[in-house]
């Protein structure tokens, strides 16, 4: 088995190269990974790092200002405001209006 001292020497040798090649950098990364795995520092032993990729709890989706504003608003009132907005968008930005209407007609 490779000792911590051997790993430290290999790391020092790679770090001591004046113009390291890609191969040297790959070896250095591998040496550090092995060292961290076989001989973790006290900081690593006390507090394990948990990757968010493996978290079972989903983070709540932040509510936009628009979504917060429409919470509890009557559906008819909401549709009236949206109809007025879309009429304005149709006049000022016809391409945007057409894009929104295409998306809505797909559902």
Q: Going by C-beta distance under 8 Å and a sequence separation of 6 or more, which residues neighbour residue 90?
A: 97
- Structure confidence at residue 87 (pLDDT): 92
- Structure confidence at residue 54 (pLDDT): 54
> Could you read off the pLDDT tens digit of each residue along the chain, which spans 107 residues?
678 888 888 889 888 888 888 888 888 888 888 888 888 876 655 555 555 555 556 667 778 888 888 888 899 999 999 999 999 999 999 999 999 999 999 86
- Structure confidence at residue 21 (pLDDT): 85
- Structure confidence at residue 47 (pLDDT): 55
Radius of gyration (Cα) for the chain, nearest Å?
Answer: 29
Instruction: With CA atoms as reference, report the closest residue to 15 among 29, 36, 33.
Output: 29
Cβ distance 85 to 70 under 8 Å? no
- Structure confidence at residue 79 (pLDDT): 92
* Token duo for residue 82: 């949206």
Could you say which DSSP state residue 54 is in?
Answer: G
Rounded to whole angstroms, the Cα distance separating 15 from 32 reads 11
Cβ distance 27 to 10 under 8 Å? yes
């Amino acid at each position: 088995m490779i000792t911590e001292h051997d790993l430290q020497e290999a790391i020092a040798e790679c770090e001591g190269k004046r113009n390291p090649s890609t191969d040297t950098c790959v070896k250095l990364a591998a040496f550090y990974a092995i060292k961290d795995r076989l001989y973790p520092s006290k900081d690593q032993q006390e507090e394990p790092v948990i990757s968010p990729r493996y978290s079972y709890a989903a983070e709540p989706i932040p509510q936009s200002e628009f979504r917060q504003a429409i919470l509890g608003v009557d559906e008819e009132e909401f549709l009236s405001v949206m109809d007025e907005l879309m009429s304005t968008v149709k006049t000022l930005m016809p391409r945007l209006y057409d894009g929104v209407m295409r998306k809505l007609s797909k559902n």
